[in-house]
């Protein structure tokens, strides 16, 4: 229920695989009062503080990811939050005549927020928002305060009609995610989907590995080179079938080398009809760009679950 409360309260969710770029010219972005927010964001240290009645608590919310972009004017910000339900979006529009910020948001089936506020010269935003699903005699004050160019603090405090805080609140600090090379995420996802495909041959799967690949799996020797790795993969298929899904946690680019931290969840079905085994591992991939194609250069799997 803690996580459910968080998603309804904030509307933020796990890392999305969708990329959004700011539309319009650089000059429009430079004029945008929300320009500091344009980019991708994650929750610092996965730390989130909330109070839904009773004691205030700080919890861990991993994999937060939000993409914010302008649309086609200098006065807008559109934020996409895509992950576990309820998914949603936030739209801000600045009125240069009245100097006000208009807010619309929608998450899940019921939680819709409407409000307005202001933006300061340094980009801090203050909003007064009412929500469907919260008592009609309450509203929330949101403050977005910039700590530096790559981090801001957001706090939401509920008030009653006498403008007195009710004690319900949530807050967190958000940090900017480094920009990934264009198309790299899509290419990595295509490679991982091949690793997860049990219908194709080992020979087809080997095409996503570099010739001198180094493959390190739990409880297994190091396999160096595609030929040795192919023998290992074929042997593993004789023991049973693993239905698994690779997922990206984060990506870092170093010119022609890409490092990806991820996790794998799945179920192994032994060939001898023994009970199936559920597993969850974390991993580190090193990809190399060769003739425009992304190949797995090194990979380490760790059978300790990713918390």
Rounded distance between C-alpha atoms, residue 250 and residue 205, angstroms: 23
Instruction: Check: pTM over 0.75? Answer yes or no.
Output: no
Pure H helices in the chain: 2-10, 26-31, 184-195, 202-205, 226-239
By the 8 A CB rule, do 96 and 75 touch?
A: yes
Q: 3-class DSSP state for residue 157?
A: strand
Q: How do residues 218-241 score in pLDDT, each as one tens digit?
A: 888 999 999 999 999 999 898 888
Q: How do residues 89-148 score in pLDDT, each as one tens digit?
A: 999 999 999 999 999 999 878 889 999 999 999 999 999 999 988 898 999 999 999 999
Tell me which DSSP letter residue 137 carries: T
Cβ-based neighbours of 231, under 8 Å, separated by 6 or more: none
Tell me which DSSP letter residue 108 carries: T
- Is the torsion defined by CA of 276, 277, 278, 281 positive or negative? negative
By the 8 A CB rule, do 239 and 270 touch?
A: yes
Rounded distance between C-alpha atoms, residue 129 and residue 183, angstroms: 37
Q: What is the mean pLDDT of the chain?
A: 85
Rounded distance between C-alpha atoms, residue 117 and residue 139, angstroms: 13
Cβ-based neighbours of 117, under 8 Å, separated by 6 or more: 100, 101, 103, 125, 126, 127, 128, 142
What pLDDT is attached to residue 96?
Answer: 94
| CB atoms closer than 10 angstroms to residue 265 | 15
| Listed residue (123, 130, 75) closest to 97, CA to CA | 75
Average pLDDT over residues 54-67: 86
Tell me which DSSP letter residue 52 carries: S
H or E stretch including 240?
strand 240-254
Give residue 15's pLDDT band: very low, low, confident or very high (50, 70, 90). Answer: very low
Domains in the chain, ordered, with CATH? 2-176 (2.40.128.20), 184-302 (3.10.450.50)
Average pLDDT over residues 168-183: 82
| Listed residue (251, 260, 258, 268) closest to 303, CA to CA | 268
- Paired tokens of 167: 């004690």
- Side by side, which strands form the sheet with 293-302? 223-224, 209-216, 293-302, 277-290, 257-270, 240-254
| CB atoms closer than 10 angstroms to residue 27 | 9
Q: How do residues 111-123 score in pLDDT, each as one tens digit?
A: 899 999 999 999 9
What pLDDT is attached to residue 11?
Answer: 36
Rounded distance between C-alpha atoms, residue 187 and residue 202, angstroms: 20
Residue 14 predicted with pLDDT over 50 = no
Rounded distance between C-alpha atoms, residue 159 and residue 166, angstroms: 5
What pLDDT is attached to residue 181?
Answer: 60
Residue 294 predicted with pLDDT over 90 = no
């Amino acid at each position: 229920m803690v996580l459910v409360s968080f998603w309804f309260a904030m509307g933020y969710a796990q890392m999305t695989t969708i990329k959004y770029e700011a539309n319009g010219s650089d000059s429009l972005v430079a004029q945008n009062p929300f320009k500091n927010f344009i980019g991708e964001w994650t929750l610092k240290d996965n730390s989130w503080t909330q109070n839904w009645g009773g004691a205030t608590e700080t919890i861990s919310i991993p994999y937060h990811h939000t993409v914010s972009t302008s649309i086609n004017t200098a006065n807008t910000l559109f934020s996409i939050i895509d992950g576990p339900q309820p998914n949603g979006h936030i739209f801000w529009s600045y009125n240069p005549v009245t100097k006000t910020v208009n807010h619309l948001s929608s998450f899940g089936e019921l939680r819709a927020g409407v409000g307005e506020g202001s933006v300061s010269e340094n980009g801090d935003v203050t909003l007064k928002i009412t929500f469907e699903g919260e008592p009609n005699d309450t509203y929330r004050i949101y403050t977005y305060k910039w700590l530096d160019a790559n981090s801001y603090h957001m706090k939401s405090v509920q008030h009653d009609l006498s403008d007195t805080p009710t004690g319900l609140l949530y807050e967190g600090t958000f940090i900017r995610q480094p920009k990934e090379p264009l198309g790299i995420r899509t290419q990595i996802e295509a490679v991982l989907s091949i690793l997860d495909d049990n219908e194709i041959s080992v020979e087809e799967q080997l095409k996503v590995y570099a010739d001198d690949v180094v493959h390190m799996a739990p409880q297994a020797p190091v396999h160096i080179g595609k030929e040795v790795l192919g023998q290992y993969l074929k042997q593993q298929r004789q023991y049973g079938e693993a239905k698994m899904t690779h997922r990206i946690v984060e990506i870092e680019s170093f010119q022609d080398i890409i490092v990806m931290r991820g996790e794998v969840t799945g179920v192994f079905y032994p060939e001898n009809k023994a009970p199936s085994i559920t597993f969850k591992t974390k991993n580190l991939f090193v990809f190399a760009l060769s003739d425009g194609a992304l190949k797995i250069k090194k990979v380490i799997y760790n059978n300790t679950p990713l918390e």
